[in-house]
Structure 1
Amino acid sequence: MAATEQEESLDDLPPSAKLVFKVLEYNGPLTQKGIAEETMLSARTVRYALERLEGISLVTEDVYFADARQNLYQLTEPAEEFTASDGEEATCAD
């Protein structure tokens, strides 16, 4: 079963998780409360969606310094942009 969880992608997630992903993509980092307000989903649904997105490493959770009781969620950066496929060091073009 662990192999199927690793192979899961955004396409396999429920619509609520896809919506949360798109909101984070368009708006940048948000708290759970901010995501709930933007998506009009319940807090429980947002938590579940974030768990699923974190499970496949699409979202990271950081401390929200303005209010340490909350967490800030943002999309992870795709690893392909920072590494070359043939093992050579990737360079950034200006």
Structure 2
Amino acid sequence: MSETDGEAISDLPPSAKLVFKVLEYKGPLTQKGIVEESMLSARTVRYALERLEEVGVVDEDVYFADARQNLYELNTEDVEQAEQAISD
């Protein structure tokens, strides 16, 4: 993660930061799981995930229990740097 990525994370909307925290504490989740944990609307979670993917801190993978859904998890290499950027 470059310095500009850290700046980009700190500029993200609060909903994206909340989704980041939910994934940090709960681990990999589907979009439905994130909606339930964060109490945000599905549309807001979708937007937050798009923004987090743009910055490169969230990875999307196939959810093998239900291939119609995706599993979202933090990119572990960048979590510590992203966490620092969010707390600044």
TM-score in terms of structure 2 length: 0.80
More helix by share: 2
Structure 2 match to 1:87: none
TM-score in terms of structure 1 length: 0.75
Q: Distance in 2 between matches of 1:13 and 1:68?
A: 29
- Structure 1 unaligned segments of length 5 or more: list them: 82-94
State the 1:78 CA deviation.
Answer: 1.6
Q: Distance in 1 between matches of 2:70 and 2:57?
A: 16
Q: Please report the RMSD computed on the Cα atoms of aligned residues, expressed in angstroms.
A: 1.9
Report percent identity of matched pairs.
Answer: 75
Structure 1 match to 2:43: 44
Q: Distance in 1 between matches of 2:76 and 2:6?
A: 18
Structure 1 match to 2:10: 11
Give the AA of the match of 1:13: L
CA contact (8 A) 1:13 1:52 kept: yes
Residues matched between the structures, number:
76
Based on CA coordinates, which of the two structures has the bigger radius of gyration? 1
Give the AA of the match of 1:70: Q
Query: Are the structure 2 counterparts of residues 25 and 6 from structure 1 closer, same or farther at C-alpha, using a change threshold of 3 Å?
Result: closer
State the 1:6 CA deviation.
Answer: 5.7
CA contact (8 A) 1:8 1:56 kept: no
Structure 2 match to 1:68: 67
4+ long deviations beyond 3 Å: 5-8
